[in-house]
Amino acid sequence: MSRWIRIGDLALAYLGWGVFALALAFILAKDASVALDTPARVRAYIRAVEFDFVDWTLDALGFKARQSSVDEQAFLSNRDQTRRVRDYFDLIFRLEGVRREIEKQYADPAVKDPAAETAGLRAMEADLRAQAGKLQPLAESILQEQISVILAEQGLVLGGQPVPPVSFHFTALPYALIVSPRAAIRQDANLDVSGDLTLEQQVALEERVARELDVSTLIVGLGGIGTYPTMVLQHSDLNWIVSVTAHEWTHNYLTLHPLGLNYETSPELRTMNETTAEIVGDEIGAMVMKRYYPDLASPPSPFRNLLRREQPAGQTRRAPDFEFRTEMRATRVRVDELLAQGKAPEAEAYMEERRKFFWDHGYQIRRLNQAYFAFYGAYAADGGAPGADPVGPAVRLLRRRSPNLKYFLDTMAWFTSFEQLKGVLGLSNQ
Q: Where are the domains of the chain?
A: 7-174+222-300
pLDDT tens for each residue of the chain, 430 residues long: 333 333 344 444 555 555 556 556 555 544 444 444 556 788 999 999 999 888 888 888 888 777 776 667 667 888 999 999 999 999 999 999 999 999 888 878 888 898 899 999 999 999 999 999 999 999 999 999 999 999 999 999 988 889 999 999 999 899 999 999 999 999 999 999 999 998 899 999 999 999 999 999 999 999 899 888 899 999 999 999 999 999 999 999 999 999 999 998 999 999 999 999 999 999 999 999 999 999 998 876 544 554 444 443 334 356 678 899 999 999 999 999 999 999 999 999 999 999 999 999 988 899 999 999 999 998 887 778 888 889 999 999 999 999 999 999 999 999 999 999 999 999 876 5
Which of these, 170, 212, 214, 153, lies nearest to 4 by C-alpha position?
Answer: 153
DSSP E strand boundaries for 93-188: 168-171, 175-181
Q: What percent of the chain has pLDDT over 70?
A: 84
Q: What is the pLDDT at residue 339?
A: 97
* Cα gap 226→403, rounded to integer Å: 27
For the chain, the farthest-separated pair of C-alpha atoms sits apart, in whole angstroms, at 69
DSSP single-letter state for residue 224: E
Give kind and range of the element (H or E) at residue 220. Answer: strand 215-221
Tell me which amino acid residue 111 is.
Answer: V
pTM of the model: 0.83
Average pLDDT, the chain: 86
Looking only at the bridges linking them, the beta strands covering 215-221 and 175-181 are antiparallel
Alpha carbon separation from 314 to 126, 202, 298, 310 (Å, rounded): 28, 21, 20, 12
* Cα gap 253→226, rounded to integer Å: 10
Q: Please write the tens of the pLDDT for every residue from 140-149.
A: 999 999 999 9
Which of these, 23, 38, 27, lies nearest to 190 by C-alpha position?
Answer: 38
Q: What is the pLDDT at residue 86?
A: 97
Cβ-based neighbour number of residue 34 at 10 Å = 22
Counts of helices then strands in the chain (DSSP H, E): 16, 6
* Cα gap 25→174, rounded to integer Å: 14
